[in-house]
């Protein structure tokens, strides 16, 4: 009588599966932090906190016996600040991010131009290519392209 041995081996290693799950989760978490919502939210929280500290100082001097009214006023000020400052803080952060990106791009372009000019000073063929490109650009600008 012939006997066959059937052994079912798993298609993947459990440790590798766990590692892939951890890497996938870390990637999803990182993508959540890349969004531009984090910075405006932090700025908004800082502005509201500063406003609430000032309101607390004012209310503390005013509300010796009216603690409940003072806390209600403080919460109203906090929620009003959240509602009123959300848009401007987001717009300010977006303008700052775009300005930093523009500055980084300009700095990178200037660094690349300086590097290319240094190479062109040492190699006459590169200098000839730069002059040809400059002449071509001048001709096209005269024609209206």
pLDDT 10s digits, 41-78: 777 788 788 877 887 777 777 656 677 677 777 778 87
H helices, E strands: number in the chain: 4, 0
pLDDT digits (tens, 9 = 90+) for 39-50: 777 777 887 888
pLDDT at 9: 72
* Cβ neighbour number for residue 111 with a 10 Å cutoff: 10
pTM, 2 dp: 0.45
Cα gap 100→107, rounded to integer Å: 10
Write the CB contacts of 127 (distance below 8 Å, at least 6 apart in sequence). 120, 121
Structure tokens at 93: 């952060």
Owner of token pair 């200037």: 110
pLDDT at 21 over 70: yes
Q: What percent of the chain has pLDDT over 70?
A: 84
Q: For a pLDDT cut of 90, what percent of the chain falls above it?
A: 24
Give residue limits of the domains in the chain.
38-143
The whole-number average pLDDT for the span 95-118 is 93
């Amino acid at each position: 009588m012939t006997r066959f041995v059937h052994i079912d081996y798993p298609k993947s290693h459990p440790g590798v599966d766990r590692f892939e799950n951890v890497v996938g989760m870390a990637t999803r978490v990182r993508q959540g932090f890349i969004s531009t919502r984090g910075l405006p939210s932090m700025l908004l929280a800082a502005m509201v906190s500063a406003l609430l500290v000032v309101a607390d100082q004012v209310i503390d001097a005013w509300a010796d016996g009216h603690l409940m009214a003072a806390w209600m006023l403080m919460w109203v000020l906090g929620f009003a600040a959240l509602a009123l400052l959300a848009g401007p803080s987001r717009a300010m952060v977006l303008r700052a991010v775009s300005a930093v990106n523009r500055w980084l791009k300009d700095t990178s372009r200037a660094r690349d131009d300086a590097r290319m000019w240094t190479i062109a000073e040492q190699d006459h063929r590169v200098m000839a290519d730069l002059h040809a490109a400059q002449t071509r650009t001048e001709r096209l600008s005269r024609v209206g392209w």
